Amino acid sequence: MSQTPSKASGESLLFLTDEQLRKGIEAMFFAYRGFTADPDRILEERGYGRAHHRAVHFIRRSPGTTVNNLLSILGVTKQSLNRVLRALIEDGLVLSEVGTRDRRERHLTLTAEGAALDRALSDAQSHRMRMAYKAAGPEAVAGFRSVLEAMMDDTMRAQYDALKDRG
Amino acid sequence: MSQTPSKASGESLLFLTDEQLRKGIEAMFFAYRGFTADPDRILEERGYGRAHHRAVHFIRRSPGTTVNNLLSILGVTKQSLNRVLRALIEDGLVLSEVGTRDRRERHLTLTAEGAALDRALSDAQSHRMRMAYKAAGPEAVAGFRSVLEAMMDDTMRAQYDALKDRG
DNA sequence: TTGGAATGTCAACAAGGCTGACGTATTGTC
DNA sequence: GACAATACGTCAGCCTTGTTGACATTCCAA
């Protein structure tokens, strides 16, 4: 299992020690905490959680999407999503309209108030990401994105790719 | 708030459209799912969750650490940590020993069985990370790490840095 | 037209966060 | 030596967000 580095930590070829991999794992852990910290503060003020954030984000991203589609993107059960969706609808942030072609479906869109919340959350999160990008430099940003994309499951990457065009 | 790109998506200077930032946010979301997917499967078999994983990981990382120290690394309350720690101790994965210098403290270490679980989890997670690194290339890896590190809060980065040497 | 599949809703439960209160052992200070 | 502070454990109860089970509605195909 554990590697015995023949030379040292190579830079041209990809030789990775357990320590390097472990450090990468920890970087993900701590960075994800930072990544969610700012939106969490905003959400708390309104009594929402991360689940609400995710729902709002992806509805904004794909206006008119169905509950089923949102389900597969978020990777949760419909019952779980339904709870947060119900709250958002009752609070007037999300609009749920019966489908015209298939009346079993509900098409979800953000109201003006929902869009405002999305903007507040997105701005907070983008600000941190912009600062990180600025600190790390353009090449680092490209590397960051390509490692993250390679880390997704295939099914996730398909959904990730399907969301609008590539940055 | 929204930007009006004067030229296009620049590559030499760091000019970032809302779309690019949004794509970065989504990359974090989907990648983190992939990042936790493999360990989650292993944990489920044994009736553990991510909280147990985190505890085991950082005890392995800092053998003999105190409960208080672990608390500040994980960023949870002692009541929360105590629940998972109690389970791990009862199951014989973690050893809790009264401190010699300060007998109020408990020093935590992994038993052989605990170390075995850590290895299984770490191998699963490292494998995916290694594949992602290999797919993205050495320069991407460096960029990945530097963006993640820039995204942490200062207090988190201090703890991240304190964990062994730099990869 | 009827039975099965798909979509979405309601109810109940579990994991794992949280706060608050409290007990105990130990340390360090006045 | 008395006493406050520290480190840890625990009980009780709450919230979010995941889960499964049961069920109503709607569509479609046999």
b/e for A118-140, b at 16 or more Cβ within 10 A? bbbbbbbbbebbeebbeebebeb
Q: How far is CA A87 from CA A10, A74, A81, A115, in A?
A: 52, 17, 10, 15
Instruction: Report pLDDT for A4.
Output: 44
Asked whether the beta carbons of B55 and B94 are under 8 A apart, the reply is yes
Give domain status of residue B58, yes or no. yes
Is A35–B131 a contact, with Cβ atoms under 8 angstroms apart? no
Is A151–B132 a contact, with Cβ atoms under 8 angstroms apart? yes
Distance CA A65, CA B129 (A): 32
Instruction: Give the burial class of B47: count Cβ atoms within 10 A of its Cβ; 0-12 exposed, 13-18 middle, 19 or more buried.
Output: exposed
Instruction: Report pLDDT for A13.
Output: 66
Residue given tokens 């357990």 in the structure block: A18
Quick check: A30 pLDDT over 50? yes
Quick check: A9 pLDDT over 70? no
Distance CA B70, CA B76 (A): 9
pLDDT, mean of each 10-residue run, chain B (167 residues): 43 78 96 97 95 98 97 97 97 97 97 98 96 95 97 95 73
Give domain status of residue A94, yes or no. yes
Amino acid identity, residue B163?
L
Quick check: A81 pLDDT over 50? yes
Percent of all residues in chain A with a pLDDT value above 90, rounded to a whole number? 87
Give domain status of residue A156, yes or no. yes
Distance CA B39, CA B104 (A): 33
Question: pLDDT by residue (tens digit) across A122-139?
Answer: 999 999 999 999 999 999
Question: pLDDT by residue (tens digit) across A14-27?
Answer: 789 999 999 999 99
Give domain status of residue A145, yes or no. yes
Q: Which residue is nearest to nucleotide C16 (CA to C1')?
A: B80
Nearest chain A CA: its distance from B36 CA (Å): 10
Nearest chain B CA: its distance from A131 CA (Å): 8
Asked whether the beta carbons of B150 and A136 are under 8 A apart, the reply is yes
- Residue range(s) defining the domain that contains residue B65: 27-136
The distance (Å) linking the CA of B104 with the C1' of D4 is 16
Asked whether the beta carbons of B15 and B9 are under 8 A apart, the reply is yes
Question: pLDDT by residue (tens digit) across A35-63?
Answer: 999 999 999 999 999 999 999 999 999 99
The reply to whether B82 has its C-beta less than 7 Å from any atom of strand D is yes
ipTM of the complex: 0.91
Distance CA A51, CA A131 (A): 25
Give domain status of residue A3, yes or no. no
Provide the number of structural domains found in chain A.
1
Is A167–B19 a contact, with Cβ atoms under 8 angstroms apart? yes
Residue given tokens 């069985």 in the structure block: B113
Quick check: A166 pLDDT over 60? no
Which of A145, A151, A118, A147 has its CA nearest to residue A129? Answer: A145
Instruction: Report pLDDT for A139.
Output: 93
Give domain status of residue A133, yes or no. yes
Asked whether the beta carbons of A90 and A45 are under 8 A apart, the reply is no
Give domain status of residue B68, yes or no. yes
Instruction: Report pLDDT for A164.
Output: 74
Instruction: Report pLDDT for A138.
Output: 93
Give domain status of residue A8, yes or no. no
The CATH code of the domain that includes B36 is: 1.10.10.10
Instruction: Report pLDDT for A132.
Output: 96
Angle subtended at Cα B82 by Cα B77 and Cα B83, rounded to the nearest 5 degrees:
110
